[in-house]
Amino acid sequence: MPIINRIAEYQNEMTAWRRHIHKHPETAFEEHQTSDYVALRLHEFGIDVHRGLAGTGVVGTLKGGKGDGPAIGLRADMDALDIEEKNDIDYKSEYPGKMHACGHDGHSTMLLGAAKYLSETKNFAGTVHFIFQPAEENEGGGRVMIEEGLFEKFPVESVYGMHNMPGIPVGEFAIRPGPIMASFDIFEITLTGTGAHAALPQLGRDAVVAASQLVTALQTIASRTVSPFDAAVVSVTQIHTGDTWNVIPEEAVIRGTTRAFKEEIQTHMETEIRRIADGIAATFGVTAQVHYERRYPPTINDAAETDLTAGIAREIAGNDMVSLDKDPMMGAEDFAFMLNEKPGAYMWIGNGPRDGGCMLHNPHYDFNDEVLPLGASYWAKLVETRLAG
């Protein structure tokens, strides 16, 4: 089947919702207006609303009209990014330094569209929980919702997520079983030496030279200690040291991130970072203090749920419009925490070309409103299929 006709009739309404959310972006755990807006729409649809998980989280609950059955969860993220928007559009962000540069405005809107349709039809048996999650970007709002009892308050058999993807044409979907997104860990290494006059380096222990060697040495973790058949990324993204030209600073701070698809590779990279930092520090007569933080686990799709959701996407878009062989991404997604608790699947939906900087986390990005009825139809068909009774 193509886009559901009734949902197609929502196109203008959903576009207005999406652009309102886009115009009022809010970042991690501060999504108060967005949460209010989502909750109001759900109330208008006659859906029971729970608020407060992870502070600004919203969960709408709807029972089907075909009798008892299992419960499932559909999740959308709500938060924006700390980016100054550079688009010249009527609904440009009104908040300086904040914008919806990852499409979470579209994700929330597609789930609202499905919620409206399902509240009208109730053509399913069982219960669907519409999970609107805060703080996906960096801060692990999905983890917090789980820690605060998401699946105890709203038990589900399975849970599903979806993200738009620039570079995949509008009308197409992509998914794969197993790892689809990588882990996200961060590290900070503080090297402390002995400061000195820049003209008398022999009197100090140079943390800057040690930091320079350490950056290079860290690159050998992926290239020389991880099997070529496993994926690993170690990226140094910050170096902070010194304040003026003629002083060798006492301290240098290196920060970065690691990515992997396996927990054992995460553990290996942490061990290697600590080993190499200690070795470089000893070589240059400085000390190293390593802080390593596990942020997000890999996003792992259940094989059976992947088959189910791919089949539903084919019904919506056509057999040739659903890919099962796209490469997994080294980016991370905190929907991983939900998939660690329950079986489910994470789908990519095409957002069109990346032209003009329309790529994720770019100040020229904008969600493609043509996608809204397609995504809402996918959600609705998933409920009607998974909870067919």
Q: How far apart are CA 238 and CA 253, in angstroms?
A: 8
Letter for the amino acid at 153? K
Letter for the amino acid at 39? A
- Does residue 131 contact residue 339 with C-beta atoms inside 8 Å? no
- Does residue 109 contact residue 14 with C-beta atoms inside 8 Å? yes
Spatial CA neighbour of 44 closest among 131, 119, 134: 119
Q: What pLDDT is stored for residue 389 in this prediction?
A: 82
The verdict on pTM exceeding 0.85 is yes
For residue 77, give Cα distances in angstroms to 6, 163, 222, 375: 24, 9, 32, 14
Q: What pLDDT is stored for residue 115 in this prediction?
A: 98
User: Two tokens at 191?
Assistant: 């090297």
* 59 contacts: CB under 8 Å, gap ≥ 6: 49, 50, 51, 53, 129, 130, 131, 132, 150, 153, 154
Q: How far apart are CA 125 and CA 383, in angstroms?
A: 9
Enumerate domains of the chain plus CATH numbers. 5-181+298-386 (3.40.630.10), 184-296 (3.30.70.360)
The pairing of beta strand 58-63 with beta strand 71-77:
unpaired
10 Å Cβ neighbour count for 98? 20
Q: Indicate the Cα dihedral angle 328, 357, 87, 41, nearest 10°.
A: -20
Q: What pLDDT is stored for residue 36 in this prediction?
A: 98
Q: What pLDDT is stored for residue 2 in this prediction?
A: 84
DSSP state of 205: B
Scan for tokens 């920060």, then name that residue: 255
* 244 contacts: CB under 8 Å, gap ≥ 6: none
Q: How far apart are CA 372 and CA 107, in angstroms?
A: 8
Q: What pLDDT is stored for residue 357 in this prediction?
A: 83
Q: How far apart are CA 294 and CA 100, in angstroms?
A: 25
Beta bridge partners of 186: 257, 293
166 burial level (CB within 10 Å; 0-12, 13-18, 19+): buried
Q: How many angstroms separate the most distant Cα atoms in the chain?
A: 82
Scan for tokens 């399902």, then name that residue: 118
Q: What are φ and ψ of residue 115, in 5° steps? A: -60, -40
Spatial CA neighbour of 122 closest among 58, 49, 51, 46: 46
For the chain, which ranges sit under pLDDT 70? 1
- Does residue 348 contact residue 359 with C-beta atoms inside 8 Å? no
- Does residue 112 contact residue 42 with C-beta atoms inside 8 Å? yes
Q: What pLDDT is stored for residue 63 in this prediction?
A: 98
| Type and span of the H or E element at 245 | none
Q: Where are the alpha helices (DSSP H) in the chain?
A: 5-8, 11-23, 32-44, 104-121, 141-147, 150-153, 207-218, 220-224, 263-284, 303-317, 336-341, 372-386
